[in-house]
Amino acid sequence: MKFNNEIEAFIKDYVNDLAENNAAIFAGAGMSKAAGYVNWSELLEDIAKELGLEIDKEYDLISLAQYHVNEKGGNKAKLNRKILEEFIDENDITENHRILARLPISTFWTTNYDVLIENSLKEANKIIDVKHNVKQLTNTRPKRDVVVYKMHGDVSMPNDAILTKEQYEAYYKTHEQFIAALSGDLTTKTFLFIGFSFTDPNLDYVLSRLNIKLSQDKRQHYCFIKKFKLGDWGAESQADFEYKSRKQMLMINDLKRYGIQALIIEDFTEITEILKEVENRFRKRTVFISGSAEDYGRLNRLEAQTFIHNLSKEIISSGFRIVNGFGWGVGSAVINGALDAIYERPDKYSEDQLIIKPFPQFKTGNKDLPVLWEEYRQRMIKFAGIAIFIFGNKLDESKNIINANGVKREFEIAIERGLIPIPIASTGFMSEEIFNTVMATPQEFYPNHEWLIPIVNEFAKSDMTIPDIIKTVISIIQKINK
């Protein structure tokens, strides 16, 4: 899918923020509605009828909730029951939730009561620290991967949910710590607002004060805004359409005061395509190195280890990440090369650039080793967008050198997950076999990178020097990531 210049710029910037662990998400009701949950209008429809009002004519829904509580003598029981009725069922996770959960985003904020974000993060095998009341802010869950701030409460505790105008008015006192935490995150992280209407008074409170405090030094944030069309939200006549379109543009321009750039989309389905592209480009910054070796073919052991070491060092020094399964005869050189680059310039490179997933050597529980190895391969390869294949051999039971079927399986998983394969054929063994498979139908493996075909062909030449191989691999990775 081709994106306009503003969205292209956002994708590039947000991928960089992901790489620097500076990305955050703010999810509004629109993100949960895609999973089948109600929005505020639908939540309060029965409440409006009970008050003798029509929900389609009401815009100040916070006041509407307050009117109901007033009429009930301050009793929130029915509102609380509505939250339980509408959000207690765990609806299916959306594709947008899954993509965001897979990305290295450590901070989620939401005004939603449901548990879609939490469930998607659990599915992605992440440790979550959920904060839906003030007391939880002082505690930190050990080994957490991500914090989910639910600033209006959680379905599990409907009595504490922020619903009425009175609660909103008192929020800066009752939930002062949430406002402080959100203010800090908005100052230090790049937020992407999804499914948000920007009518929430709490968010407005924080944004307005940050706007005054930071003046021209605000951080850049982004939000998705669906372009208004004739027939949307009751705009049946041309006059209504023009009026609401004008108002939308004024709102979009006003968001710039807070450092929020609107990304205009024609349809909500575009959000998924944009998020997929963000994930795709981020993964391409991570290189999976697959290989194992008892025999190094035309190279002696020292030459081969130096080659792997220098290749890994250059990948890290070029600002990319490496994921590796510590393959026999290869893994230690990958780690040493990566750490050499990191420790040489700790101010510039980080251990976060190296992801090591050593294979288990013993049966765990009721899972046999082949099952565990398959799981490990799937988990490793999902991090990457590029796969380099080197050597690929092992000893069989008779102590004969054979091509490593594990490396072949890693190639199959890599292709299934859309990675770009770079087999270094001159290292021989399974890498050469993979090269032959790729070059038999290269358009199938490089559908959007046909320029790679003649370059990868060069790796089959036995007279290509090791420094030239490394230099060419790095140039390929850099060009893919442009």
How far apart are the C-alpha atoms of 106 and 227, rounded to whole Å?
30
Task: Report pLDDT for 233.
Answer: 61
**Three-state SS letters, the chain:** CCCCHHHHHHHHHHHHHHHCCCEEEEECHHHHHCCCCCCHHHHCHHHHHHCCCCHHHCCCHHHHHHHHHHHCCCCCHHHHHHHHHHHCCCCCCCHHHHHHHHCCCCEEEECCCCCHHHHHHHHCCCCEEEECCHHHHHCCCCCCCEEEEECCCCCCCHHHCCCCHHHHHHHHHHCHHHHHHHHHHHHHCEEEEECCCCCCHHHHHHHHHHHHHHHHHCCCEEEEEECCCCCHHHCCCHHHHHHHHHHHHHHHHHHHHHCEEEEEECCCHHHHHHHHHHHHHHHCCEEEEEEECCCCCCCCHHHHHHHHHHHHHHHHHCCCEEEECCCCCCHHHHHHHHHHHHHHCCCCCCHHHEEECCCCCCCECCECHHHHHHHHHHHHHCCCCEEEEEECEEECCCCCEEECHHHHHHHHHHHHCCCEEEECHHHCHHHHHHHHHHHHCHHHHCCCCCCHHHHHHHCCCCCCCHHHHHHHHHHHHHHHCC
For range 169-176, the mean pLDDT: 89
Task: Report pLDDT for 196.
Answer: 83
More confident residue, 361 or 76: 76
**Could you tell me the pLDDT band of residue 218, with boundaries at 50, 70 and 90?**
confident
How far apart are the C-alpha atoms of 481 and 470, rounded to whole Å?
17
For range 350-375, the mean pLDDT: 76
| Own/partner long-range contacts of 173-181 (Cβ < 8 Å, ≥24 apart) | 174/134, 175/134, 175/151, 175/202, 177/134, 177/137, 178/131, 178/134, 178/137, 178/149, 178/151, 179/205, 179/206, 181/137, 181/149
CA 302 remoteness from chain centre: 39
How far apart are the C-alpha atoms of 304 and 429, rounded to whole Å?
14
How far apart are the C-alpha atoms of 224 and 192, rounded to whole Å?
8
Q: Out of 76-85, 99-108, 185-194, 306-315, pick the least confident.
A: 76-85
Task: Report pLDDT for 311.
Answer: 98
Task: Report pLDDT for 136.
Answer: 96
* Statement: residue 363 has pLDDT above 60: no
Q: What is the pLDDT of residues 403-435, one digit of tens each?
A: 999 999 999 999 999 999 999 999 999 999 999
What amino acid occupies position 110? T
Class of residue 56 by CB neighbours under 10 A (exposed 0-12, middle 13-18, buried 19+): exposed
Task: Report pLDDT for 360.
Answer: 66
Task: Report pLDDT for 241.
Answer: 81
Task: Report pLDDT for 165.
Answer: 87
More confident residue, 366 or 417: 417
Task: Report pLDDT for 384.
Answer: 96
Beta bridge partners of 225: 264
- Provide the 10 A C-beta neighbour count for residue 465: 9
For range 212-217, the mean pLDDT: 63
Q: Please state the φ and ψ torsions of residue 83, each to the nearest 5 degrees.
A: -65, -45
More confident residue, 256 or 228: 256
How far apart are the C-alpha atoms of 188 and 179, rounded to whole Å?
14
Tokens encoding 435? 């090269």
CA 460 to each of CA 173, 388, 447: distance values in angstroms, whole numbers, following the listed order: 68, 14, 21
Q: Give me the chain's average pLDDT, please.
A: 89
Q: What is the pLDDT of residues 36-67, one digit of tens each?
A: 887 778 888 888 888 898 887 777 788 888 88
For range 10-19, the mean pLDDT: 95
Percent over 70 (pLDDT), the chain: 94
* Statement: residue 213 has pLDDT above 70: no
Positions marked catalytic: 152
Beta bridge partners of 226: 265
* Statement: residue 277 has pLDDT above 60: yes
Tokens encoding 172? 């800066």
CATH architecture group of domain 284-480 = 3-Layer(aba) Sandwich (3.40)
Task: Report pLDDT for 420.
Answer: 97
Q: What is the pLDDT of residues 284-330, one digit of tens each?
A: 999 999 999 999 999 999 999 999 999 999 999 999 999 988 778 99
Location of structure tokens 């009518």: 199
The pTM assigned to this predicted structure is 0.87
Cβ 401 vs Cβ 294: under 8 Å: yes
- Provide the 10 A C-beta neighbour count for residue 330: 25
Tokens encoding 99? 């993509």
